[in-house]
Structure 1
């Protein structure tokens, strides 16, 4: 059994805003499956987690396992954060895992904005941070010029992290530097980023499709597009 041995805090509302400090937070604590369930007793929340949050000024509500999506949605919209306790509950197959996944996926949606980018190749609008970035360090200067002027990056997504969300979310700004952006004509969004202090990288575009996929007509296959696949892959494998 794969279990979680540490606790995780997730902020739900309003995670991505610059709202002032909330002096009356409501925090959910996720229940865990019992190893040996009994009749009418299948899950538990350790009192120490409740006291821990109450001591910091929060009001605490239980988030029970095996509830409906509708019940979880109502709760999600009513709390300011949720704590996932550590323990022996499986993070692969359990009521704890299923509920945790639901709340985590809903939280991610708060960070995302719908964009019209399901089938389009775009050039990259590089930021000043790209010049000293790790991910683009090994790219030839000529290829960087082509990436900035030619549609060499495939975009096949409906959701993006908008620059508005990035600029108003201190957690994102302090952790990631934006290396390039793009726009669908209405919304500017992050297209390449890397963490300041950790080997964590993200591209909203698909570097692998240029050289190896042919299903969609917008996939770029020019010599520079193929080089983009190679240099991006080489960076990740170094």
Structure 2
């Protein structure tokens, strides 16, 4: 929606195929989901390492992590699979509260209109859908997390427990959300998902931020290889009637790969 095309990284693909695809893209999105172990975790960990390596080598290579993606980053960076805490934020529209005196220049919120930022702290413009998260206290007490990221916002679950909801890396073009910026525009399975004009603007500004970061990448892959890998080569399936909350899904054929990256 912000002027980019998608190449799906299918975690069951052989490592050499995933590495080839990583050389065709200008940034990565870790999506939401539920898998926190096994092959999926190993592949995400390997891709994250590649993101760091590309940036350390001088290539601007952004990463956006959403919900599960956010949670996996905290586990990988701390090397602690038990870093997360339980929260009650399933199918919950919420506000985000900006950390006091936080400087948002250059962050995912940097180009949001001030009036929209204010509304985000008052109106429920973001969609939460998670059982886990991390409290500000635990986040700041962990040196691995607090040195890698800075906290931009917090949110409150249904039991008034506060958790970190948006973070930004200090040295890398990496931003992570505990919430789902994509749902406001694309998902209709829950009546709680906000679809107001302001909510749509939140999604739009997040998308524009990420793609603006991707445009800074110097990677210029071979056009034919890109065309062969685009998601347009796959057929989406309408899932809205199933009532699972996903209006459109891609069903990828599993590959016989048992090794991580």
Please say if 1:208 is aligned against 2:182: yes
Q: CA distance change for structure 1 residues 141 and 186 in 2, over 3 Å: closer, same or farther?
A: closer
For residues 202-230 of structure 1, the C-alpha deviation after alignment (integer angstroms, 9 at most, x for no partner) is: 01110110011110011001110000010
Spell out the pairing of 1:120-131 with structure 2 (5 A cutoff).
Answer: 120-127=92-99, 128-131=101-104
Q: 2:131 corresponds to which residue?
A: 158
Residue 114 (structure 1) aligned with residue 89 (structure 2) = no
CA shift for structure 1 position 2: 3.8
- TM-score normalized by structure 2? 0.50
What stretches of structure 2 of length at least 5 have no aligned partner?
A: 1-13, 17-37, 39-74, 213-261
Deviations 1:109-162 (A, max 9, x none): 411001000110111110132533511111011111111110001000111021
Matches of 2:155 and 2:182, distance apart in 1: 19
Secondary structure class of the residue paired with 1:111: coil
Residue in 2 that maps onto 1:233: 207
CA distance in 2, matches of 1:140, 1:210: 18
Residues in 1 aligned to 2:179 and 2:164: alpha-carbon distance in whole angstroms: 10
Conservation of the 8 A alpha-carbon contact between 1:129 and 1:177: no
Distance 1:199 1:156 in 2: 25
The structural deviation recorded for 1:196 is 0.6
Quote the residue 1:217 is aligned against: 191
- Whether the 8 Å contact between 1:163 and 1:188 is mirrored in structure 2 is yes
- Listed as ranges, the gaps of 5+ residues in structure 1 are 4-68, 70-102
Distance in structure 2 (CA, Å) of the matches to 1:114 and 1:228:
26
| Distance in 2 of aligned mates of 1:114 and 1:164 | 14
Q: Report the CA distance shift for 1:219/1:108 in structure 2 as closer, same or farther (over 3 A).
A: farther
1:41-87 CA distances to partner (integer Å, 9 max, x unpaired)? Answer: xxxxxxxxxxxxxxxxxxxxxxxxxxxx9xxxxxxxxxxxxxxxxxx
Q: Deviations over 1:155-182 (max 9, x none)?
A: 0011102112102101111110000001
Look up the SS of the partner of 2:200 in the other structure: helix
Q: Which has the higher contact order (CA 8 A, sep 6+)?
A: 2
Call closer, same or farther: CA 1:235–1:123 in 2, change over 3 Å: same
Partners of 1:140 and 1:159 lie apart in 2 by 30
How far did 1:108 drift?
4.6
Higher strand share: 1
Q: CA RMSD in A?
A: 2.3
Larger radius of gyration: 1
The answer on whether the counterparts of 1:130 and 1:180 sit within 8 Å (CA) in structure 2 is: no
